[in-house]
């Protein structure tokens, strides 16, 4: 007998139609959930060895400052477009084939990175940018469909335990492989075979993604066909996106988040350049520096969640606005590797607070009974544009610093690295964005949210776009609502980049973006 929705359900959530459970459901469900856990490890192998070393690989290929900016800007913008396109195509095409095909294409792209590391043609950096465009395009294309798939697959009562277990597997696998990758590159550097180290890393990533694609193909989709009655046209979706910006509170919030992402992107690609080129860090030191921030974010999430619940999201955002501009200045104080690890700990603490508080703030300020996915998609699109502009601007600044130091000789006595000009500019602009937003930040009445069962994240990547970044998953439960095929209570969060743009997702509780760590 199918369950019936209770009249006491959250009035701000979408109506869910009950469905009959097919015979033998327990068999395919158990098998699919087991495959999903294995897929978590396989995909973590890819993310920890592939995109986590994009910046380092670009530096090895002697990318210029302007090229580092383009490596940030173009894939970022293309990825956001792919995510919107995926959400729209999900109205017409079955999601499982979309996910599997995109995963296979990504496997081929990573294989191309192996060839690039071995062959290293004269236009290697241009090839890297091209491959990065398709790499991150696949990631963003998969995301809305994967979230919807998992939302309809995992039983409501098991989501907390299942995704907590999946997260632990992903976290451990990512950190182990990430640290191992740094050690491998350090050893290959000593033997003057860095190209071989990168080739081995990307081969591992390709194998991991190939296994991931196979496991995704074997998984069951309980709701394989799109629902015609929920289909939205392209122009209808665009009209909704435009209409959301008529809300002043949301408009100010979106410009703030996008603006902060944009000014952070000015310096994001160049912290790796500073460590590997200027400070001559080993790849192992580089990896440990990133891991320090990842672990800090993971540990501090629950603290910031409790703090926000008690004191409100606005006060946390105010704290972040005052501390985010200081982070690049801290990088300029000392080149000591241990000190910079401590800076990354502070950075991880602040970005964890920023991501969580801005996500909850977005949930609170959106109008009642509105489509949350529309608001998340608008914020994502603005963020992608801002990051692209910021990254190109940062590349131009970095490229002009030699001329600036030549004309202003006293800078050599003040600044030990020419990249400090970039760090200084991003610090000033971060502070300007914070000052603009603080008087405009309303303190909305927190609406009743679903009970959070488990706050989940996975190591996502370390790349030219976002620095160290995580995918965040907030698994929620809405009282007395049965699970449904299109249930999307799982909100996947990513970079300035990974946003919820699924057109029929009106029950998402959280939306967080990948944040550049420095």
Q: What is the pLDDT of residue 471?
A: 47
- Tokens for 489? 């209570």
Q: Which residues have a Cβ under 8 Å from the Cβ of 341 and sit 6 or more positions away?
A: 288, 289, 292
Strand partners, 459: 470
Check if the beta carbon of residue 494 is closer than 8 Å to that of residue 204.
no
Enumerate domains of the chain plus CATH numbers: 26-224+233-493 (1.20.1250.20)
Torsion 437-443-444-446 (CA) sign? positive
Indicate the pTM of the whole model.
Answer: 0.80
Q: pLDDT in tens for each of the 518 residues of the chain?
A: 444 444 333 434 333 444 445 556 778 888 988 999 999 899 988 888 766 789 999 999 999 999 999 998 999 899 888 988 888 888 888 999 999 999 999 999 999 999 999 999 999 999 999 999 999 999 989 988 887 888 788 887 777 678 778 878 888 888 888 889 999 999 999 999 999 999 999 999 999 999 999 999 999 988 878 767 666 666 666 676 676 677 788 888 889 999 999 999 999 999 999 999 999 999 999 999 988 888 888 788 788 888 888 888 888 888 999 999 999 999 999 999 999 999 999 998 998 888 888 877 877 776 555 555 666 667 777 888 999 999 999 999 999 998 888 877 777 777 888 999 999 999 999 999 999 998 887 766 555 544 443 444 444 444 333 433 444 444 444 444 444 333 333 333 333 333 333 333 333 333 333 333 34
Q: What is the pLDDT of residue 265?
A: 93
d(CA 339, CA 336): 5
Check if the beta carbon of residue 419 is closer than 8 Å to that of residue 86.
no
Check if the beta carbon of residue 202 is closer than 8 Å to that of residue 50.
yes
Q: What is the pLDDT of residue 415?
A: 80
- Tokens for 382? 């603005």
d(CA 35, CA 39): 6
d(CA 209, CA 49): 11
DSSP per residue, 24-42: THHHHHHHHHHHHHHHHHH
Considering only CA atoms, which of 411, 431, 444, 215 is closest in space to residue 332? 411
What DSSP designation does 445 have? P
Q: How many Cβ atoms are within 10 Å of 66's Cβ, its own excluded?
A: 15
- Tokens for 284? 């192992």
Considering only CA atoms, which of 293, 286, 269 is closest in space to residue 128? 269
Check if the beta carbon of residue 434 is closer than 8 Å to that of residue 20.
no
What distance lies between CA 432 and its chain's CA centroid? Answer: 24
d(CA 320, CA 30): 42
Walk across the sheet containing 467-477 and list its strands: 451-463, 467-477, 491-493
């Amino acid at each position: 007998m199918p369950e019936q929705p209770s009249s006491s359900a959250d009035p701000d959530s979408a109506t869910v139609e009950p469905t009959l459970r097919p015979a033998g459901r327990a068999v395919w469900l158990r098998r699919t959930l087991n495959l999903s856990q294995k897929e978590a490890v396989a995909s973590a192998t890819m993310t920890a060895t592939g995109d986590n070393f994009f910046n380092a690989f670009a530096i090895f290929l002697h990318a210029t400052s302007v090229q580092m900016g383009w490596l940030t800007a173009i894939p970022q913008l293309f990825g956001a477009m792919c995510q919107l396109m995926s959400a729209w195509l999900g109205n017409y095409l079955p999601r499982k084939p979309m996910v599997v095909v995109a995963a296979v294409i990504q496997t081929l792209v990573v294989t191309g990175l192996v060839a690039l590391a071995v062959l290293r043609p004269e236009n290697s950096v241009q090839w890297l940018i091209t491959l990065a465009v398709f790499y991150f395009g696949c990631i963003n294309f998969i995301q809305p469909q994967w979230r919807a798939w998992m939302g309809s697959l995992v039983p409501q009562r098991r989501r907390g335990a299942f995704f907590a277990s999946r997260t632990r597997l992903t976290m451990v696998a990512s950190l182990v492989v990430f640290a191992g990758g740094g050690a491998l590159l350090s050893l290959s550097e000593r033997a003057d075979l860095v190209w071989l180290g990168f080739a081995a890393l990307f081969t591992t990533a390709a194998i991991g993604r190939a296994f991931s694609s196979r496991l995704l193909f074997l998984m069951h989709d309980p709701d394989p066909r799109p629902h015609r009655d929920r289909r939205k046209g392209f122009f209808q979706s665009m009209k909704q996106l435009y209409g959301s910006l008529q809300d002043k509170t949301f408009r100010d919030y979106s410009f703030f988040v996008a603006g902060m992402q944009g000014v952070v992107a000015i310096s994001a690609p160049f912290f790796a350049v500073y460590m590997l080129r200027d400070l001559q860090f080993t790849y192992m030191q580089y990896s440990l520096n990133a891991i320090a921030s990842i672990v800090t974010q993971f540990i501090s999430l629950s603290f910031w969640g409790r703090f926000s619940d008690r004191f409100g999201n606005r006060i946390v955002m105010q704290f972040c606005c005052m501390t985010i501009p200081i982070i690049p200045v801290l990088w300029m104080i000392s080149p000591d590797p241990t000190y910079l690890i401590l800076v990354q700990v502070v950075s991880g603490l602040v970005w964890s607070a920023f991501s969580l508080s801005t996500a909850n703030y977005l949930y609170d300020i959106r109008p009642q009974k509105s489509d949350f996915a529309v608001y998340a998609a608008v914020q994502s699109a603005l963020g992608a544009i801002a990051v692209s502009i910021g990254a190109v601007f940062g590349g131009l600044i970095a490229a002009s610093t030699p001329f600036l130091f030549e004309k202003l000789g006293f800078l050599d006595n003040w600044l030990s690295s020419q990249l400090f000009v970039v760090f200084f500019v991003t610090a000033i602009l971060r502070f300007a964005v914070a000052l603009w937003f603080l008087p405009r930040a309303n303190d909305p009445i927190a609406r009743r949210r679903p009970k959070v069962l488990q706050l989940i994240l996975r190591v996502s990547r370390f790349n030219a776009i976002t620095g160290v970044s995580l995918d965040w998953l907030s698994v929620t439960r809405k009282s007395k609502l049965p699970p449904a095929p299109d249930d999307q209570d799982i909100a996947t969060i990513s970079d300035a980049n990974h946003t919820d743009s699924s057109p029929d997702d009106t029950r998402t509780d959280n939306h967080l973006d990948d944040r550049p760590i420095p």
